[in-house]
Each structure stands twice: as C-alpha cells, then as structure tokens.
C-alpha cells in the first residue's frame, strides 16, 4: 500500500515550465503555516527562481556559456525542490490536503484492477493540457466536460466542452497554478455512457 505523496515529477519539465511550477510551489508553501519550518528559506528559493528565469532569458542567444550557467541554476533549483519535496512528504505523512497545500502534484494510492478511461497529460506549453480517452468497444465519439477546481459540488457545475470524433483533445488557455477536473462520456451505436470518474490535475 502506497501513501499519498508529493511527486518528484518536475525533472523533465522544460525550463520555462519549471519556473512557473516552482513559483507555484513557493507561493503555496510560503502562505501555508504548516510549512513555516521549511529547510530551505522561501526568500532563498524565490531568489534562485529569479536567477534561473534571468539565466533562461540570457541563454536565448545560443551562447554555450549562458546555457551552462542556466543549467547550473536549474540543478540548484532541482536540489532545492527535491529537499522541499522530502520535507512536505514528512510533514504531510500521507495527508492529501497537506500535500496539495504545498503545490506539489500528488501520488495517490493506486486502485487495483482498474484502468483509467481518461488521462490528462502536460504538454510543452504552459496552460495547455492533452486530454486522452481510452477507446473501449465501438466508440464513435467522445463528449467532454470540465470544471475549474478539484471537485464540483453539484452536477450543474460541470461545463460542457466539446464532442469530438477523436479520443484526444487539446485544451488551451488554462491558468497555471489552478486545478482543473475533466470527465468524458463515450458515445457508441448503443447510446452514450455515463461520465467517467473525474480526473484532476494542477495546471502548469
């Protein structure tokens, strides 16, 4: 059995996406009293993020030296946020509310013998997600719904998005640092299925 943990999933992110992701975590942790005893001071974290962002801009000219400096700043931040991740994991001790309150993405306890009908994937572009539905049986279309948040209180809070013939749909123009929930229903000759269990993800 695995506990709910903060994910160390930021390593493959592109530099600009990392900047937004790290700022989101720093903001969450700075405003949450649970994390006041952080092993890395937030002032130091924010200064490192600023330096990394400046190094990214400097590296746009293609200079090998500027790119090397950018990578040094990136490695420093990777180390900082790995330390912060371990700290959050210790403080939360499996509490999902505390983990989510840190801004880190969440590793949940897996549900055995079940395959998700819907998957939300990050792209190389901030504020853009790829929605991927499983093809089950003779499905001819997919109808999507979204909710800006973790979970709606009422069914009427779900917002119809689109009905597509493809099992993939790109959702753009989202606000980084916010959560979005998505669900999908499958349309076949037999009719329209119930909507699947919502999938929630932090926009980066």
d(CA 76, CA 47): 11
* Cα–Cα separations (whole angstroms), residue 178 to 68, 109, 136, 204: 32, 22, 30, 8
pLDDT tier at 2, thresholds 50, 70, 90: low
pLDDT exceeds 80 at position 187: yes
pLDDT exceeds 80 at position 148: yes
d(CA 136, CA 150): 26
pLDDT digits (tens, 9 = 90+) for 34-74: 999 999 999 999 999 999 999 999 998 888 999 999 999 99
pTM for this entry: 0.54
The pLDDT assigned to 106 comes to 87
Residue 65: burial class (beta carbons within 10 Å; 0-12, 13-18, 19+): exposed
What the chain holds in terms of domains, given with CATH numbers, is 5-106 (no CATH), 112-202 (2.60.40.10)
Mean pLDDT for 88-97 is 92
pLDDT digits (tens, 9 = 90+) for 189-202: 888 998 998 888 98
């Amino acid at each position: 059995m695995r506990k709910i943990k903060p994910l160390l999933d930021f390593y493959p992110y592109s530099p600009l996406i990392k900047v937004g992701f790290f700022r989101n975590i720093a903001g969450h942790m700075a405003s949450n009293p649970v994390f006041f005893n952080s092993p890395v001071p937030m002032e130091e974290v924010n200064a490192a993020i600023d330096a990394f962002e400046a190094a990214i801009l400097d590296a746009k000219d293609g200079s090998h030296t500027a790119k090397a400096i950018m990578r040094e700043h990136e490695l420093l931040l990777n180390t900082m946020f790995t330390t912060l991740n371990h700290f959050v994991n210790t403080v939360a001790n499996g509490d999902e509310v505390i983990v989510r309150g840190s801004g880190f993405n969440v590793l949940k306890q897996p549900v055995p013998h079940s395959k998700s009908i819907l998957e939300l994937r990050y792209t190389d572009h901030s504020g853009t997600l790829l929605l991927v539905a499983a093809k089950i049986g003779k499905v001819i279309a997919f109808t999507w719904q979204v909710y800006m948040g973790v979970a709606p209180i009422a069914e009427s809070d779900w917002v119809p998005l689109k009905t597509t013939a493809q099992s993939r749909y790109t959702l753009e123009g989202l606000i980084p640092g916010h959560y979005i929930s998505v669900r999908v229903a499958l349309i076949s000759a037999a009719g329209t299925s119930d909507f699947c269990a919502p999938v929630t993800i932090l926009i980066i």
